[in-house]
């Protein structure tokens, strides 16, 4: 919860960052605290979600977040990065680490994620993290910053 202000300042308030996400940009740090309470509850009440903030190695600055969503034999992946740090290959580095960590677990055989078919930066992240595009899930996910109807999404996965 102590990271709420840094999360709000670095990316959660930014409509460019949240454009293809399932949540709207936060209007105040109170929105970010509410959002984090959800993450904490899901983490504490079992294995619904494991999320990490991402920090820079040199100065510890908070630049984003990445999360795993466990399911039966598989985990889903989600991520977000502050706009000032786009284009440096940071998220592929983080995503690849989690893909490999997940597939190293005895009972996990598949890591998967989706992105809006217009979110080509995210599709590139998944490719660079070693995942393969499996197809388009039509009308899969609501991205309220672009439409009030569910959007087509690319589905990517890595399996073992």
Ligand X SMILES: CC(C)(COP(=O)(O)OP(=O)(O)OC[C@H]1O[C@@H](n2cnc3c(N)ncnc32)[C@H](O)[C@@H]1OP(=O)(O)O)[C@@H](O)C(=O)NCCC(=O)NCCS
Alpha-carbon distances, residue 133 vs 87, 96, 152 (angstroms): 21, 15, 14
Strand partners, 71: 74
Of 5, 28, 48, 87, the one binding ligand X (CB under 6 A) is: 87
Q: Which is nearer to ligand X, 45 or 116 (CB)?
A: 116
Q: List the x/- string, 92-131, binding to ligand X by CB under 6 A.
A: x----------------------x---xxxx-xx--x---
- Note whether 86 binds ligand X by CB under 6 A: yes
Q: List the x/- string, 29-68, binding to ligand X by CB under 6 A.
A: ----------------------------------------
Three-state helix/strand/coil letters over 50-77: EEEEEECCCCCCEEEEEEEEEECCEEEE
Point out which residues bind ligand X (CB under 6 A). Answer: 17, 20-21, 79-81, 86-92, 115, 119-122, 124-125, 128
């Amino acid at each position: 919860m102590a990271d709420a202000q840094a999360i709000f300042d670095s990316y959660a308030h930014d409509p460019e960052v949240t454009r293809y996400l399932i949540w709207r940009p936060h209007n105040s740090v109170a929105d970010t605290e509410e959002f984090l309470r959800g993450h904490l509850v899901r983490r504490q009440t079992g294995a619904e979600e494991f999320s990490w903030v991402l920090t820079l190695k040199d100065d510890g600055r908070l630049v984003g977040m990445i999360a795993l969503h466990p399911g039966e034999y598989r985990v889903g992946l989600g991520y977000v990065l502050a706009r000032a740090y786009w284009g440096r290959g940071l998220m592929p580095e983080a995503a690849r680490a989690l893909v490999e960590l997940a597939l190293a677990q005895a009972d996990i055989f598949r890591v998967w994620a989706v992105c809006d078919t217009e979110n080509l930066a995210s599709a590139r992240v998944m490719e660079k993290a070693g995942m393969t595009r499996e197809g388009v899930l039509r009308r899969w996910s609501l991205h309220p910053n672009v439409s009030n109807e569910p959007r087509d999404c690319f589905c990517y996965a890595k399996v073992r």
